[in-house]
Amino acid sequence: MSDQSVYVDQIVCARIPTNWGEFRLCLYQNDKDEKEHLAFLFGDVECQENALVRVHSECFTGDVLGSTRCDCGEQLEASIVAIAENGSGALIYLHQEGRGIGLLEKLRAYNLQDIGYDTVEANLALGHQADLRDYSVAAEIIRNLGIKSIRLITNNPAKIEDLTQHGIVVTERVSIEPTIKPDNLEYLRTKVTRMRHMLNMPELISTTQHEGD
């Protein structure tokens, strides 16, 4: 069922030629927050069943600067490539930096991580929840695009659960395996051991997991 408390409006779409083919970029406004969210579309997705979809939260450091502290930029590019190779699909780009805490607090969290906190502990130490992201606007954008059901590119079960609660039919999870690097190893391990991310990488399972995880 649609979340009647959220209304989205597609303001404008424009043609975006890329190295992977021609996309359309659509900008959305909504009545839940003051942010502008985006849909990056390849091919015709209207009325499509099992559309290939990525719901991606903004990560300036990873998406734009190429930071290897996380796997966000890698996920973004891999999703765009997968959608293009599929022949159609949508990437919903949500402006909710740092799992919803914003860039300022994210940089502060990075500094805490550099002295030993993991990504969850850093957010909590700054007075935030581990993950403040909300996918209700993404669900309404998917509905606005006329997509009937989706194959969701994600490793995060919470994203599937949230979208499902907002009435989106997720028929399949499409995994997206990251490249393990020295600077993202502990970040990825925390995703697996503390945030339930589904990564088929035994090397990420630490023998020193937090009790109760």
Residues identified as active-site: 131, 133
Helices 157-165 & 136-144 angle (0-180, nearest 10): 60
Residue 148 CA to residue 170 CA, distance in Å, equals 10
Region class of 26: left (phi > 0), else alpha (psi between -120 and 50), else beta: beta
Residue 79 CA to residue 195 CA, distance in Å, equals 21
What are the two backbone dihedrals, phi and then psi, of residue 137, each rounded to the nearest 5 degrees? -65, -40
Q: How many CA atoms lie less than 13 Å away from 127 in the CB half-sphere?
A: 2
- Integer angstrom CA distances of residue 78 from 8, 20, 176: 27, 11, 8
Residue 149 CA to residue 166 CA, distance in Å, equals 13
Residue 22, Cβ neighbours under 10 Å: how many? 11
Residue 145, Cβ neighbours under 10 Å: how many? 20
Q: What is the DSSP string of 155-194?
A: S-HHHHHHHHHTT--EEEEE--PPPP-TTTHHHHHHHHHH
